[in-house]
């Protein structure tokens, strides 16, 4: 069996099998199942990335039928990046969760079903990053949605249930809207495969309406302002490992589909004005999310609003994509680097926030003074993650900001660069508001239980990854060049 | 008016009703039911539009999509009802507009 | 690879310091001192190479089409030498000063990282690399400024960040814009932008953005607001970072910008040099006047720093070879003089808790060696021959006259008088009999005393040897000459 | 409060009005005849040997969708289980023993329903039917039994319930992975065993789907739903 060529199929089947096995394994053995699965999936994701780097994007025909009869998976550079990101964050979160969900209470944390739910979510994220079929996207989105909503409520508190319910209804609205879009698109074109659609799509009211509905639904799922209303509560009240996954990975799933629909499937200008609208909403998200983050008094709410802001950056690629292949290359590489660095940094921040909350026994920022002395590794992790959030060198966030600013300046539409700079400064403002409290010289009595090595150091490890990402930008550029968006735009690697 | 349009128009109408209900009705059970309206609306649209070719018979792909969609909707509905019920037991509230009085989870 | 080492060695020392943790103090001191010694040796070797005409450089790919580059040329090495040598001296001083302080691992770790960043700024081969290390310098200084964790320190830190990040944002846009229109532009004596020199409007805006970025650390008015406040940091931080590494990174950026990115010719023809010169001249006068009125010792020194930094900016902006060389020499000279003064301020505070000029009577009797070193540095700063400040100020003055900017000469001369005006009262106050008289001769901890004496002596020695090859003056002229088309003094 | 609710009511009206207008326009813009992928699918189904083309689409051409759909169903079951308030919800008797009429009816109906479920699976390859229909009937039979006061059979310990819930998905994954050993791709059934493999999956899926439906029902039932507690 050629693992490299089979990696797309295995990347879905293996975590799915892990989910099923963890369910029957029982609460004691489920964490081991999850860790084993995480290691295998990481290996597979790297294998897929290597395969793409070697031979360019490839298609994987599930069932051997091939589109349009069957469903094809698409492994290109962009998908590989998201898969590897998911695998890295996933592994770290899995290890962290083994310390976080240590409880002997039979009913706590959803009866020990966290592991099964989490592996289902991982499966669905992998499937979402790989799928080349617009209806299959719907099934994947539902898998993501159901697992995400449930994981939010797994802590069982009233606040979490309320956030989960809100999230669920947003998710339902998104799902139904997306499916309606698919119905119209299929009725107009008779096709479901993205690549077939790319080559056959012609101007048509029904198809355009369908695609517009699909994009609107995905925007809702990605929580782009003003459709972000469900996110802060959900990400803020979920258990911390869950928040980490939601913020760093789940929003990227639906975003990735938008990216492919907007830049690969649809010819330029197919939905006139939508690219600009997305850019403007992205800018609004950057400003609004940052300002809200600045006003929060609870640590996880701050981090959650920061996600609202950081999602905005991802949407700046769409208006920039209209300015030719060079600008598109810069902008696409920029958002990919941003997605990676934000994924790592936000994972780190939520895990770190969780550890700080466990040690302090509360989540009020104002009362976390003195953490720098009693929990230096955690504070350092928050600081490093902050650096990449602000887009300061040397960090992945800097690489992303640089690439996007360059793209904006090269396109002549310099105002996007202004938005980026303001976003960075606002990020600095809210991150230093948090950091300066942690650095205050104050005698503190932290929670008696000393931090576990996993809860202390794993957040720092992720943050370090986000910083060191700056050295991997050439690799990311190579993978970006091996993405279908750029290849179909005529950029030769 | 062709037959397929009747089904489709019914679907669109159901979908629009569901959208209104999901957004406007505060009661959580109403919201779950409205989402089911939307789902049924889409299924009708899919079936209706998939039946536009009398000579080659109905297109099986929308039918397969609908079957998958039904299962997914059942799953969503089950989850929705479970959360609504759990929320009601925890707070005594049946809507999201009122804030739960005491507590929070941490 | 060799070109990276002056940056990497302190960086590794910094990380090792964090790893050693708070308890292993002796190991920490050994690691840091050894790293300083190794760095000095490495820089010395690079200087020998550079004097012999081989510039060692190396670039690694980072962003698409752009690399991270290090190049050990004479200009950069001058700054690297200043930073590295004074790091060694300051380390000894800091070990004494921080003897009873808390969180020393954090302190020495970030201290070493700052030096790494400063050396990165010094040897950066292109605007992007310079920008990256410049920002790292901002970030690694922040924990040092807020080190004590007091509300005052945190407020100063916030202010520092506000300025530094604002400047950084301007710099980012400027550097990115430059990269968009010109691609990778390694610093080249005389200018690197010949290919795009016709895009005058854009180049003017970029120049303004870059000056705004560098101007923050160079404390160019009105961007100086952070500096007096940041003096709440522990004395070794003020000494090394706010007299040597941080502020000098700003003026060094301006030197690179004018001489080796735009080039004096382009900077003059674009008409961007003169506004910069005027801004610097105004800063010199205003800061000197404000310094006259400060009673707080470190604040007075801080305003003096602002004035002296603008000497360098002004000399550079005049775009005349002798003034530019004088500016570069003054970068080194001012570092030696100002570090002596900040060491003194730290010593008198740590030993006697004296913070204000008006509390000083008796100090000269109590700490004669310390105050004697201070006196030498103070006179040097005012430009009294044959001390170190004289040589560079002479070059600046003659250079401005040569370039036809007599007004700049007047600024230099009058500010020399003002420098006497704010330095002499410190000395007279210390010479008076007063509170501190009784315990005669009780100097500070020797680990603090001897570094002060060392840098004090250096101000004399460097002044006396200013004419010899290898002195900062000679070095600066050699490094600047290529920017002016093979000018020979 | 009243004002706060009345004002946003505009948004839902706009949304559903927009849906009516835009989707209506899009539907009317469609040509009255189109066959979609019907022809390809029918030809493909002939080649695959499965007579019912919808089943062929569901389990063969788009079997991947169905695999994920089974995952959705099992996920929802796990989700609802994680939300249950009473850890013993699955093994609790929720109603008292039924009276003689309901009891007799249940004793007649339940075996019949199980038989029907089996029939639905069996005919699935050629007629409308299949695992979902069969599973639904099976689940309904279970619910009927529970409501008439039949407790779970003795073998259904907690672990066993989990196995029954999972076995369909596990078998599906196993069958999906099996072709990879021979160099095929995921779900690429070998031609000679295609029919048997699909039947095998369908039977196990029916069990799991039935168990899922029953679990969804039981997990949500309140401890106070009436009837005596065992």
ipTM of the complex: 0.89
Whether chain A has a CB inside 8 Å of the CB on C103: the answer is yes
Q: C217-226: buried (b, 16+ CB within 10 Å) or exposed (e) per residue?
A: bbbbbebbeb
Nearest to A218 by CA among A189, A180, A256: A256
From CA A240, how far away is CA B14, in angstroms rounded? 39
Q: For residues D105-125, give the mean pLDDT.
A: 88
Q: DSSP of A198-230, one letter per residue? A: HHH----HHHHHHHHHHHHHHHHHHT-TTTTTT
Instruction: Indicate whether A401 belongs to any domain.
Output: yes
Nearest-CA distance C96 → chain A (Å) = 22
Query: pLDDT tens for residues B38-64?
Result: 999 999 999 999 888 767 678 889 989
pLDDT value of residue B106: 38
Using a CB-CB cut-off of 8 Å, the residues of chain D touching B19 are 12, 15-16, 19
Using a CB-CB cut-off of 8 Å, the residues of chain B touching D19 are 12, 15-16, 19
Nearest residue in A to B28, CA atom: A165
**Domain count within chain B:** 1
More confident residue, C242 or B8: B8
CB A53 within 8 A of CB A72: no
pLDDT value of residue B1: 54
Considering only CB atoms, D69 lies closest to which of A61, A139, A210, namely: A139
The subunits that touch chain A, with at least 3 C-beta pairs less than 8 Å apart, are B, C, D
C–B contact (≥3 CB pairs within 8 Å)?
A: no
Looking at every residue in chain A, the average pLDDT score rounds to 91
More confident residue, C434 or C420: C420
Q: For residues C118-124, give the mean pLDDT.
A: 91
Is 80 exceeded by the pLDDT of residue C466? Answer: no
What's this model's pTM, rounded to 2 decimal places? 0.92
Test the B interface: residue of A146, A155, A176 with most B CBs within 10 Å = A176
CB-based contacts of D178: which residues, under 8 Å, 6+ apart? D197
pLDDT value of residue D151: 63
Domain of A310, in residue numbers: 279-493
Query: pLDDT tens for residues A193-206?
Result: 999 999 999 999 99
CB C342 within 8 A of CB C243: yes
Instruction: Indicate whether B43 belongs to any domain.
Output: yes
Instruction: Indicate whether B13 belongs to any domain.
Output: yes
Q: How remote is the C-alpha of D94 from its chain's centroid?
A: 23
pLDDT value of residue B15: 95
The distance in angstroms from the start CA to the end CA of chain B is: 60
Confidence of residue D194 (pLDDT cuts 50, 70, 90): confident
From CA B93, how far away is CA D50, in angstroms rounded? 51
Percent of chain C having pLDDT more than 70? Answer: 98
Nearest to C23 by CA among D71, A237, A376: A376
Instruction: Indicate whether B106 belongs to any domain.
Output: no
Instruction: Indicate whether B99 belongs to any domain.
Output: no
**Domain count within chain A:** 1
Sign of the dihedral defined by the CA atoms of residues C393, C399, C401, C407, in that order: negative
pLDDT value of residue D153: 57
Confidence of residue D2 (pLDDT cuts 50, 70, 90): very low
Test the D interface: residue of A17, A48, A70, A123 with most D CBs within 10 Å = A70
pLDDT value of residue D224: 47
Considering only CB atoms, A13 lies closest to which of D83, D177, D189, namely: D177
Instruction: Indicate whether A7 belongs to any domain.
Output: no
Nearest residue in A to D39, CA atom: A69
Domain of B79, in residue numbers: 7-91
Instruction: Indicate whether B56 belongs to any domain.
Output: yes
Instruction: Indicate whether B1 belongs to any domain.
Output: no
H helices, E strands: number in chain B: 3, 0
Is 50 exceeded by the pLDDT of residue D227? Answer: no
CB-based contacts of A170: which residues, under 8 Å, 6+ apart? A220, A221, A227, A229, A230
Considering only CB atoms, B104 lies closest to which of A158, A165, A176, namely: A158
Instruction: Indicate whether A146 belongs to any domain.
Output: no
pLDDT value of residue C9: 87
Q: For residues A447-468, give the mean pLDDT.
A: 83
Burial class (CB in 10 A: 0-12, 13-18, 19+), A489: middle
pLDDT value of residue A103: 58
Using a CB-CB cut-off of 8 Å, the residues of chain B touching A171 are 76
Ranges A209-223, C167-181, D47-61, D68-82: which has the least confidence = D47-61
Whether chain A has a CB inside 8 Å of the CB on B91: the answer is yes
Highest mean pLDDT among A130-134, A442-446, D142-146: A130-134
CB A327 within 8 A of CB A320: yes
CATH code of B85's domain: 1.10.287.3510
């Amino acid at each position: 069996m050629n693992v490299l060529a089979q990696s797309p199929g295995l990347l879905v089947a293996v975590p799915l099998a892990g989910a099923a096995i963890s369910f029957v394994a029982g609460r004691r053995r489920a964490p081991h199942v999850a860790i084993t699965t995480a290691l295998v999936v990481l290996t597979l994701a790297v294998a897929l990335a290597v395969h793409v780097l070697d031979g360019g994007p490839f298609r994987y025909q599930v069932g051997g039928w091939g589109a349009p009869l069957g469903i094809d998976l698409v492994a290109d550079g962009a998908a590989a990046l998201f898969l590897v990101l998911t695998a890295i964050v996933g592994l770290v979160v899995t290890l962290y969760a083994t310390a976080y969900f240590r409880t002997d209470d039979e009913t706590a944390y959803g009866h020990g079903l966290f592991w099964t739910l989490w592996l289902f979510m991982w499966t669905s994220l992998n499937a979402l990053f790989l799928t080349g079929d617009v209806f299959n996207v719907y099934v994947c989105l539902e898998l993501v949605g159901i697992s995400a909503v449930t994981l939010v409520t797994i802590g069982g508190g009233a606040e979490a249930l309320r956030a989960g319910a809100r999230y669920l209804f947003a998710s339902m609205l998104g799902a139904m809207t997306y499916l309606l879009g698919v119905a119209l698109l299929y009725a107009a074109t008779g096709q479901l495969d993205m690549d077939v659609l790319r080559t056959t799509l012609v101007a048509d009211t029904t198809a355009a309406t369908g695609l517009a509905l699909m994009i609107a639904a995905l925007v809702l799922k990605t929580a782009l302002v003003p459709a972000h209303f469900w996110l802060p509560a959900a990400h803020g009240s979920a258990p911390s490992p869950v928040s980490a996954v939601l913020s760093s990975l789940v929003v990227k799933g639906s975003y990735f589909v938008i990216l492919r629909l907007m830049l690969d499937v649809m010819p330029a200008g197919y939905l006139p004005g939508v690219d600009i609208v997305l850019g403007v909403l992205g800018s609004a998200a950057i400003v609004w999310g940052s300002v809200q983050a600045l006003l929060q008094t609870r640590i996880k709410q701050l981090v959650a609003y920061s996600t609202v802001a950081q999602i905005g950056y991802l949407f700046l690629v769409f208006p920039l994509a209209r300015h030719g292949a060079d600008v598109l290359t810069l902008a696409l590489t920029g958002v990919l680097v941003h997605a990676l660095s934000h994924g790592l940094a936000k994972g780190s921040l939520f895990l770190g926030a969780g550890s700080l909350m466990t040690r302090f026994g509360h989540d009020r920022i104002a009362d976390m003074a003195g953490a720098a002395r009693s929990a230096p590794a955690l504070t350092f992790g928050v600081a490093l993650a902050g650096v990449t959030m602000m887009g300061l060198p040397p960090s992945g966030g800097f690489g992303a900001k640089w690439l996007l600013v360059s793209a904006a300046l090269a396109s002549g539409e310099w105002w996007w660069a202004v938005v980026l700079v303001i976003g960075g400064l606002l990020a600095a403002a809210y991150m230093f508001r948090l950091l300066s409290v942690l650095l205050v010289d104050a005698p503190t009595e932290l929670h008696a239980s000393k931090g576990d090595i996993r809860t202390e150091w794993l957040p720092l490890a992720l943050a370090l990854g986000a910083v060191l990402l700056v050295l991997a930008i050439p690799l990311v550029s190579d993978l970006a060049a091996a993405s279908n968006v750029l290849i179909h735009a005529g950029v030769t690697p | 008016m062709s037959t397929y349009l009747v089904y489709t128009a019914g679907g669109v109408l159901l979908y629009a009703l569901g959208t209104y209900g999901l957004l406007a009705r505060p009661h959580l059970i109403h919201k779950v039911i409205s989402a089911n309206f939307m789902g049924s609306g889409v299924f009708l649209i899919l079936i209706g539009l998939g039946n536009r070719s009398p000579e080659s018979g109905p297109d099986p792909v929308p039918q397969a999509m609908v079957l998958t969609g039904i299962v997914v909707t059942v799953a969503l509905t089950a989850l929705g009802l479970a959360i609504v019920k759990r929320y009601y037991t925890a707070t005594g509230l049946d809507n999201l507009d009122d804030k739960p009085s005491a507590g929070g989870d941490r | 690879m060799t070109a990276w080492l002056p940056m990497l060695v302190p960086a590794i020392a910094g990380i090792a310091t964090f790893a050693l943790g708070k308890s292993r103090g002796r190991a920490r001191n050994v690691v840091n001192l050894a790293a300083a010694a190794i760095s000095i040796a490495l820089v010395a070797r690079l200087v020998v190479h550079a004097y012999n005409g081989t510039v060692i450089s190396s670039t690694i790919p980072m962003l698409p089409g752009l690399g991270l580059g290090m190049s050990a040329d004479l200009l950069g090495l001058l700054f690297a030498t200043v930073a590295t040598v004074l790091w060694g001296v300051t380390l000894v001083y800091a070990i004494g000063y921080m003897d009873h302080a808390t969180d020393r691992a954090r302190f020495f770790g970030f201290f070493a990282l700052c030096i790494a960043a400063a050396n990165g700024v010094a040897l950066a081969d292109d605007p992007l690399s310079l920008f990256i290390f410049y920002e790292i310098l901002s970030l690694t200084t922040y924990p040092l400024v807020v080190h004590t964790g007091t509300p005052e320190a945190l407020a100063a830190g916030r202010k520092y960040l506000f300025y530094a990040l604002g400047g950084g944002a301007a710099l980012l846009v400027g550097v990115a814009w430059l990269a968009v229109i010109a691609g990778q532009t390694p610093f080249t004596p005389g200018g690197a932008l010949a290919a795009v020199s016709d895009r005058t409007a854009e180049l003017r805006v970029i120049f303004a953005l870059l000056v705004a970025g560098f101007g923050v650390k160079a404390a160019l008015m009105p961007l100086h607001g952070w500096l007096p406040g940041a003096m709440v940091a522990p004395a070794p931080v003020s000494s090394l970072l706010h007299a040597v590494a941080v502020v000098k990174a700003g003026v060094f950026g301006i030197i690179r910008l004018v001489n080796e990115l735009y080039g004096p010719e382009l900077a003059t023809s674009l008409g961007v040099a003169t506004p910069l010169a005027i801004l610097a001249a105004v800063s010199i006068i205003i800061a000197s006047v404000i310094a006259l009125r400060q009673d707080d010792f470190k604040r007075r020194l801080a305003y003096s720093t602002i004035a002296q930094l603008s000497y360098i900016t002004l000399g550079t902006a005049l775009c005349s070879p002798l003034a530019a060389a004088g500016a570069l020499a003054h970068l080194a000279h001012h570092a030696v003089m100002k570090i002596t003064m900040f060491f003194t301020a730290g010593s008198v505070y740590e030993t006697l808790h004296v913070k204000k000029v008006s509390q000083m009577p008796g100090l000269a009797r109590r700490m004669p060696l310390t105050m004697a070193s201070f006196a030498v540095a103070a006179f040097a700063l005012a430009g009294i021959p044959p001390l170190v400040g004289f040589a560079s100020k002479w070059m600046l003055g003659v250079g401005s006259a040569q370039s036809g900017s007599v007004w700049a000469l007047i600024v230099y001369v009058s500010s020399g008088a003002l420098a006497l005006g704010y330095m002499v009262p410190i000395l007279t106050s210390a010479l008076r009999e007063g509170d501190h008289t009784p315990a005669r001769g009780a100097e500070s901890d020797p680990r603090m005393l001897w570094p002060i004496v060392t840098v004090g002596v250096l101000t004399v020695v460097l002044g006396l040897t200013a004419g010899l090859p290898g002195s900062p003056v000679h070095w600066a002229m050699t490094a600047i000459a290529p920017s002016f088309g093979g000018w020979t003094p | 409060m009243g004002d706060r609710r009345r004002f946003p009511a505009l948004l839902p009206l706009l949304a559903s009005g927009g849906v009516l207008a835009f989707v209506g326009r899009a539907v009317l813009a469609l040509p009255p005849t189109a066959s979609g992928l019907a022809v390809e699918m029918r030809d493909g189904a002939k080649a695959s040997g499965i007579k019912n083309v919808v089943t062929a689409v569901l389990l063969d051409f788009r079997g991947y969708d169905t695999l994920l759909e089974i995952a959705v169903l099992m996920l929802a079951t796990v989700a609802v289980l994680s939300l249950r308030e009473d850890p013993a919800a699955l093994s609790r008797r929720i109603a008292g023993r039924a009276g003689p009429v309901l009891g007799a009816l249940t004793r007649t109906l339940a075996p019949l329903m199980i038989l029907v479920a089996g029939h639905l699976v069996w005919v699935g390859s050629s007629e409308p039917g299949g695992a979902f229909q069969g599973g639904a009937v099976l689940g309904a039979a279970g619910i009927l039994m529970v409501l008439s006061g039949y407790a779970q059979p003795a073998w259904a310990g907690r672990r066993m319930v989990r196995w029954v819930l999972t076995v369909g998905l596990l078998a599906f994954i196993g069958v999906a992975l099996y072709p990879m050993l021979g160099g095929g791709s995921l779900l690429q059934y070998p031609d000679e065993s295609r029919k048997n493999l699909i039947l095998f999956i369908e039977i196990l899926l029916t069990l799991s789907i039935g168990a899922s439906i029953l679990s969804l029902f039981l997990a949500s039932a309140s401890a106070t739903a009436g009837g005596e507690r065992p």
